[in-house]
Amino acid sequence: MDHLRRKLSAAEEFKRRLLESKFGERLVKLVLFGSVSRGEADRDSDVDLIVFLTNVDGGVEEFLDEISSDIWLEMGERIEKVVLPLEEIRHPTSWLVYRSLATGVEMYSLSEEELKEKEQRGYAQLSGYFIRAAEASMTDGFFRASVDLAYNAAELAVRGLLLFKMDDLPSTHGGIVNRFGDLFVRTGEVEAELGRKLTLALEARNRARYVIGVEVGREDAEEAIDLARKLMALLESRL
């Protein structure tokens, strides 16, 4: 089974080069799947890996292509990789990811708490992005879009907050709002007014997005953006 040992060595070399690179801090989990993980590989089998990162962009994908190519030239083993954001760990969008997480070989992983914190920081970053987008839309007079974007920013911050209290987040907007009410408002951890405004913001978002005959103005956008800022600040204060 020398060929299997070579393939496992190639996978380890891929991991080493990634971790030692400038992109190493982005790696949150590395999973070996397929025939190599099952010990059933033949000489022509690829080394199949799922690479979970905090941030996926062209730069890191190009780098991973380069080290895969180098390993092929140096070791004669072909690395076939799937590169995914860390959110796929908690919410797999394909059977391949779900099955590989359940049955594959975990070659590297942050702890559950570290994974959760990475996800929370990602929510805070996205929340800030959508706040800026909402502000720009309001400045340009696109008040419906601004309300929609600001609610999205608020909900992203709430998602990050909920991860302090639970592991599996609700899958609907209403579920997110309700759980925030249960875990933060009713417990007195945040002021009741914040929970009320979040409920109203969801209603405003739905009107802005779907109801043609209703007027959505600057004041609506300002209120939604103010809520999003407060929720993002609350999340950032706890990270």
**Burial classification of residue 23, based on how many CB atoms lie within 10 Å of its CB (0-12 exposed, 13-18 middle, 19 or more buried):** buried
Structural contact between residues 26 and 52, judged by C-beta atoms closer than 8 angstroms? no
What's the pLDDT band for 1 if we cut at 50, 70, 90?
low
DSSP E strand boundaries for the chain: 27-33, 47-53, 79-85, 105-109
In the chain, CATH 3.30.460.10 covers 1-110
- pLDDT > 90: percent of the chain: 89
* CATH no. for 1-110: 3.30.460.10
pLDDT digits (tens, 9 = 90+) for 18-38: 999 999 999 999 999 999 999
Rounded mean pLDDT, 2-15: 94
The pLDDT assigned to 197 comes to 95
**Burial classification of residue 113, based on how many CB atoms lie within 10 Å of its CB (0-12 exposed, 13-18 middle, 19 or more buried):** exposed
The set of residues, in sequence order, having a beta carbon less than 8 Å from that of 122 and lying 6+ positions away, is: 54, 55, 86, 87
In the chain, CATH 1.20.120.330 covers 113-237
**Burial classification of residue 41, based on how many CB atoms lie within 10 Å of its CB (0-12 exposed, 13-18 middle, 19 or more buried):** buried
CA distance 22 to 18: 8
* Matching residue, tokens 């092929």: 72
What is the reported pTM? Answer: 0.81
What's the pLDDT band for 167 if we cut at 50, 70, 90?
confident
pLDDT digits (tens, 9 = 90+) for 113-162: 999 999 999 999 999 999 999 999 999 999 999 999 999 999 999 999 99
CA distance 201 to 228: 9
Phi then psi for residue 152, to 5 deg, are: -60, -40
* CATH no. for 113-237: 1.20.120.330
User: Which of 204, 230, 196 lies closest to 144 in space, CA to CA?
Assistant: 204
pLDDT at 3 > cutoff 90: no
Q: In the structure encoding, which two tokens stand for residue 39, read together?
A: 């010990």
CA distance 34 to 40: 9
